[in-house]
Amino acid sequence: METGIATTPFGRRPMSLAMLAAQNDSKEIAEGKAADKWQVYRDLCEGKAVVGIGDRSLAVLAALLSFYPDTELSEENGLVVFPSNKQLILRSHGMSEVTLRRHLATLVDSGLIIRRDSPNGKRYARKGRGGGLEEAFGFSLAPVLARADEFAEAAERVRADNRALRLMRERITLHRRDIQKLIEAAVEEDVPGDWGDLWRRFRAIVDAIPRRAAIVDLAPIVTDLAEIREEIDILLESHMNVEDSNGNADRSERQQSDSNTESIFEFEPALEKSGATAEPRTREAEKPKGYPLGLVLKACPEIAVYAVDGIGNWRDLMVTAAQVRGYLGVSPSAYEDACHVMGQEIAAIVVACILQRAQHIGSAGGYLRVLTEKARAGQFSVGPMLMSLLRTQSRSGEARAG
């Protein structure tokens, strides 16, 4: 049984007021109080950041608890354990004795255990005439029992913080998904608005999100994303109100115009213009003369990343290019004009080239319109673009090989 008197450490170990306070707190354990030692330990492990204790010290505490014979901690059964350092090392995953001593000192300084040192500093128990323990010298687990409620609260606080952090991350994920898809839809449908600026602001916020962030770091990010989402909602709602205010005749006319735009992306018959003449193109995707598909993919490998099932023919390239132009910020009208002037296959090659050099091009849509005007005037050929990119890829391959 414990004497209830404040004890001082053996040898040169100093006494501190913190150690005295821990001993005094252990005297205030309510009569009959008991706690499951492993539940208290699990709470302490969860709330370790709040309590301020490390993993290795907790491993030593687990070893000490394992020497307590009962599952429940209680004063009635005594709270002192007295294993040797050799036994503790075996149950502390084989840590060195120097490390063990350091973490035992940390547990004492943290007020989680109390030293009950014998006159000679050794750990042992003295039995009475009846066979029961009369007095034990070692480490008292009384603070673990006394602070059981504190550890439970710390664990609950950590769990609450983790829930709040998870909810915050979920909100960010939903905002990111909604903003990205709404902007893509708005660009696809040619909705009026400064979508490029909104996209740049969105990416700047997303790119600044740290991998490991606390709630205080994520809260302003959620606010900024919510503001962008609200701006998008206002623009889309305004556009929808204008759409709804138009009459059925306007709706029919616009649907007919949209169907023409859609036909470009579905590769319906289109006109390939060359100077003043125009000949109808066939619905079947034809191979552009002089530009093998393999050469195009070798010069512009980035386009294949966006293909759902790979690019095995010219039609796959045109379908992928029609999708990629939206990611590049090219409006449907600009791409439709390019397809009419250059032809669908050449326009797809140009989009692949623009994608390959996207980081060097400020406005992909404006660049495509310039190329379209040059093609309309008979001053543009996609060959030099392909050859330049092919040389760049060859140099990159040689540099990697070297």
Residue 157 lies in a domain: no
Model pLDDT, residue 339: 93
> pLDDT by residue (tens digit) across 81-95?
888 888 889 888 888
Residue 390 and residue 321 share a domain: yes
Token pair belonging to 316:
């796959």
Residue 142 and residue 170 share a domain: no
Residue 152 lies in a domain: no
Model pLDDT, residue 112: 87
Token pair belonging to 15:
């006494």
DSSP 118-163: -TTS--EEEE-TTSSEEEEEEEE-HHHHHTHHHHHHHHHHHHHHHH
DSSP 197-264: HHHHHHHHHHHT--SS--HHHHHHHHHHHHHHHHHHHHHHHHHHHHHHHS-HHHHHHHHHHHHHHHHH
Model pLDDT, residue 41: 93
Residue 202 and residue 83 share a domain: no
293-295-299-304 Cα dihedral, nearest 10 degrees: 30
Domain final residue pick, 84, 112, 146: 146
pLDDT string in tens for the chain (402-residue length): 444 445 655 445 555 545 555 555 556 677 778 889 999 999 999 999 888 899 899 999 999 999 888 888 887 777 888 888 888 898 888 889 899 989 988 888 888 888 887 766 677 677 666 656 667 778 888 888 888 888 999 999 888 888 888 888 898 998 889 888 888 888 877 788 888 888 889 989 988 888 888 888 888 898 899 899 888 888 888 877 776 565 444 544 444 444 443 333 333 333 333 333 333 333 334 445 557 888 888 889 999 888 878 898 998 999 999 988 888 888 888 899 999 999 999 999 999 999 998 888 878 888 899 899 999 988 888 888 888 888 888 777 766 666
The residues that bridge with 115 in the sheet, in sequence order, are 139
Residue 24 and residue 64 share a domain: yes
Residue 140 and residue 21 share a domain: yes
Query: What CATH number is given to the structural domain containing 77?
Result: 1.10.10
Report pTM: 0.48
Residue 110 and residue 90 share a domain: yes
Residue 181 lies in a domain: yes
Domain final residue pick, 201, 223, 244: 244
Residue 103 lies in a domain: yes
Number of domains in the chain: 3
Residue 386 and residue 263 share a domain: yes
Domain final residue pick, 183, 209, 244: 244
**Single-letter amino acid code for the residue at 287:** K
Residue 100 lies in a domain: yes
- Give the count of beta carbons closer than 10 Å to the beta carbon of residue 368: 24
Residue 264 and residue 235 share a domain: no
Residue 39 lies in a domain: yes
Rg (CA), the chain: 37
Residue 130 and residue 40 share a domain: yes
Model pLDDT, residue 25: 57
Residue 71 and residue 125 share a domain: yes
Model pLDDT, residue 2: 45
Residue 260 and residue 229 share a domain: no
Residue 6 lies in a domain: no
Residue 251 lies in a domain: no
Model pLDDT, residue 351: 93
Range of the domain at 286: 256-401
Residue 386 and residue 319 share a domain: yes
